[in-house]
Amino acid sequence: MTVVRDAGTAERWGMLADLLADGEVVVLSGAGLSTESGIPDYRGETGRRRRAEPMTYHTFVSSAAARRRYWARSHLGWRHIVDAAPNDGHRAVAELQRRGLVAGIITQNVDGLHQAAGADGVVELHGSLHRVRCLACGRRTPRRTLDRRLRAANPGWHARREVVNAVINPDGDAVLGADEVETFRTVDCEGCGGVLKPDVVFFGENVPPSRVEECYALTERAGLLLVLGSSLTVMSGYRFVRHAAARSIPVAIINQGPTRGDGEALMTFDAPLGPALTTLVRELA
C-alpha cells in the first residue's frame, strides 16, 4: 500500500473525498470526536491537562469504597454527559450515513452522541453510559432510572456548592473531595440486590467477543476504514486498523496529533474533526 501522507494537503483531502464518494465506509470513532461537544478525553489535550486516571474493573468489583467513590463522581458527572449535544462532526457522520456512503459505525465512545445526531446501527465497542447492568443477574436498566434512585437516596447532595463546581473528567466522572464521597449513598439492583455497574467496558475488562467479531466483520466489508478522533493507543480500537491494513483495505485517520495507527494508514490528517468533516460533506454534495 502506497502511503500518501507527504502529498500536498489539498490533494490528500481530495483523495479522501474520492474514497468517501465510493461508499462502503466504516467509521471508527474515538473521544476526539466528542471533545467539541464539551466531553474531555483521556489522551488528548483535555485529558493531559486533567491527568485523568480511569476506574479499573478490578478496583470497582473488589472494593465497596471504590464503588461508592465511582458512583458519587459519576452521579454528578453524568449530567454533563446527558446534557451534551452532538457537534458538527457527529452530524457529518450521520449525514454521510444518510447518503448511503457510510456502511457502519464503530465507536469507542460511551456518550451516545452518534445516535443523538441521527446515526443508526452504531456498534458501541465500549458500551454506553446511558445504561446500567447488574453484575449478579445481568439485568440492564436505563441510567435515568438509576439517577432518580440515587437522587432519592441522596436528597440535596448534588446541590451542594462544592459538588456543583466540581471539574468533570472523561467518561462523565467528576473530581470530588473525600467529604463529598463519604456522605454519598449507593443503591443496589432492584431485582436481585446485586452490584450495579455502568454498562461500559472499564479499563482491565474485556470487550464481549461477539461485539469484537461484529466489528471485525464490518471492517472486512469496508471500502475504507475512516478513523475519527482516536489516538488508537489501546488495542481495543487499534486492532481494527491492523485488520484492515493486513487486508489492503485503505485506512484514513483524522485526529489532532499523531496516532498509533499512522504507520498503517494510507493517509493521515491533523485537523479539528468538526470543521474537517463538515467541509468534506459539503464538497461531496
Q: In this structure, is residue 34 part of a structural domain?
A: yes
Q: Is the dihedral of CA 92, 94, 96, 99 positive or negative?
A: negative
Check whether residue 109 and residue 172 sit in a common domain.
Answer: no
pLDDT tens sequence across 82-128: 899 999 999 999 999 999 999 999 999 999 999 999 999 999 999 99
Q: Which spans in the chain are helix H? A: 9-21, 45-50, 57-62, 64-82, 88-98, 113-116, 143-153, 161-164, 178-182, 209-220, 235-246, 273-284
**Domain that includes residue 92, residue range:** 1-39+86-126+206-285
What's the distance, CA 38 to chain centroid?
13
Spot the catalytic one: 75, 90, 114, 126: 126
Check whether residue 72 and residue 92 sit in a common domain.
Answer: no
What percent of the chain is modeled with pLDDT above 70?
87
| Region for residue 222 given its phi and psi (left: phi exceeds 0; alpha: psi -120 to 50; beta: otherwise) | beta
Q: Is the dihedral of CA 134, 139, 143, 145 positive or negative?
A: negative
pLDDT tens sequence across 32-43: 999 999 998 765
Q: Is the dihedral of CA 185, 188, 194, 197 positive or negative?
A: negative
pLDDT tens sequence across 162-191: 444 556 665 666 677 777 788 899 999 999
Check whether residue 196 and residue 71 sit in a common domain.
Answer: yes
User: What is the side-by-side order of every strand in the sheet holding 196-200?
Assistant: 140-142, 127-134, 196-200
Entry pTM: 0.90
Q: Where among 165, 181, 200 does a domain terminate?
A: 200
For residue 21 the three cell numbers come to 464518494
Task: Give the number of domains in the chain.
Answer: 2
| Average pLDDT in the chain | 89
Check whether residue 109 and residue 188 sit in a common domain.
Answer: no
Check whether residue 153 and residue 282 sit in a common domain.
Answer: no
Check whether residue 242 and residue 150 sit in a common domain.
Answer: no
134 annotated as a binding-site residue: yes
215 annotated as a binding-site residue: no
Q: Where among 200, 221, 240 does a domain terminate?
A: 200
CATH of the domain at 194: 3.30.1600
Check whether residue 154 and residue 257 sit in a common domain.
Answer: no
109 annotated as a binding-site residue: yes
Q: Where among 200, 220, 240 does a domain terminate?
A: 200
Q: Is 126 a catalytic residue?
A: yes
47 annotated as a binding-site residue: no
192 annotated as a binding-site residue: yes
Check whether residue 107 and residue 231 sit in a common domain.
Answer: yes
